[in-house]
Chains A and B, each alone.
Chain A
């Protein structure tokens, strides 16, 4: 399928999703749907680096929270439309990804993974000590009185924004897969030494992947303060973001753009249901167990079941 056809189709699907949500017309559908869509973006973003190049990023919470805290800062000094804030938040996270990558990506992949894990702790330390964004007490964010559409229903607006971001991130992830960039990524994943020897600019490609992946995570985090209206470091940097975001592509399948979507929709919905019906701690335990079970028993994820 050509990219333009695919994007049109994707927009149609997104339109249908939004239409159905409007038809059900229940505030909770938008509320829960926002979280699922947020994970579609996060999982797709993670997969650009993790699935395509084979480098594991554990610092999802840091990239995500940097986007969120960029919004907090912007909200305080210069209020502007949300999409613009998301672009800036994504830019900040992308630059952080670039910096971490530049320092550690020349080494073995494990060092990058460890560095991102440690980075999450440090960024949290910085935010906790920064009183302008609330420090450890957290920050309250007052939603704008009027949302641009839907007669001021802000949750619906946030849902639509996240839906748009999902479309963009999925379209880009799929476009990368079948481009020179994607083939370069795959070469790195399969054999980095051989790729380097045949003239693939490995470091540059890895940096592009890290920046893109981090940037999308930041964009996914940017609307968070308006969604929760109260943001503190403990919840913004929660490890559950990292576990979910890693579990979703690995459960869905990392080899193509569709895997993260399957994982995000399945796990995201499952979690929303389990949180309401059982408890949120138990629903996280389910995700952890599923992650371990899938990496051991189904290394190609759900997609692997259909590609025999």
Chain B
């Protein structure tokens, strides 16, 4: 085992981990804080990727910029989805089977519509930072991994600030802690949850831009991320942003080491191993409070 190979695997694992954190943060909000099992989250990420692709291929817009512009649209989409979910499932107390099937259906519909519109070809974007690579000694820092990682950490930092400093952010945390108590204070948890779910879907937009910068995208690729996202979310302790970032980095490194030393086709299995081990040994996550 050569040393620079190991070093490179570690560094690219860390960078990919930063990207995984952006992919997971939405689920950290929806699943971790609001208790909504949104398994369709990766499908919205792919939707973000395709929007970045359209903007980039027709007008030459930077993919990240395009998706930042789309944030309000994704926020509205998320609020609309939560509205349906709330009326049809949460108020009926029927989230376990039909609520899950609802999101599964959304996942599938998004995928099939993308296939019908764009076909199953791999799509990619162009941006000045996709080609070049920085070299620090023996270590390579591909900009196409570095940029998403840095922007992702920045966004998560902002989101953390928003959650802890603003009125709405604190309200969301209150819902996460005890919706019944909130109702007793005469506040409406559904409204706060709607805003928060909108936020979680909005993060998918930017994560989609990162995804298509890092690798070419086709409609069914989102499925590979379901296991990863929930593995990270559970391992990081539900709803903890810092925990999710650390867990994402750990998963990124282990996947990168697996890909380097055993072959990339084995990498998807790593996330599942993580998920199973976490669920079996420590369901509250490594950084969980309980």
Contacts and interface: CB of A to CB of B under 8 A. Distances in A.
Interface residues of B, number: 45
A50 interface: yes
A50 B97 contact: yes
B220 interface: yes
Interface string B108-127: 11011101100000000000
Nearest to A286: B112
B231 A118 contact: yes
B72 interface: no
Interface residues of A, number: 44
B283 interface: yes
A247 B101 CA distance: 8
Nearest to B87: A296
Interface stretch (A106-114, A170-178, A218-226): A106-114
Nearest to B102: A295
Contact of A113 (B98, B100, B106, B223): B100
A100 to B, nearest CB: 8
B29 to A, nearest CB: 16
**B88, B94, B109 — which one has the most chain A CB atoms within 10 A of its CB?**
B109
Interface stretch (B51-59, B160-168, B181-189, B267-275): B267-275
Interface in B75-111: 84, 88-89, 92, 94, 96-102, 104-106, 108-109, 111
A201 B13 CA distance: 44
A121 B223 contact: yes
Interface string B243-280: 00000000000000000000101101101110110011
Contacts, number: 130
B230 A109 contact: no
Interface of A: 50, 54, 56, 58, 103-104, 107, 109-111, 113-115, 117-119, 121-122, 124-126, 128-129, 136, 239, 242-243, 246-247, 250, 254, 281-282, 284-285, 287-289, 291-292, 295-297, 299
Given A250-B98, A299-B94, A117 B226 contact: yes
B115 A296 contact: no
A56 B158 CA distance: 36
A263 B76 CA distance: 34
A239 B111 contact: yes
B227 A243 contact: no
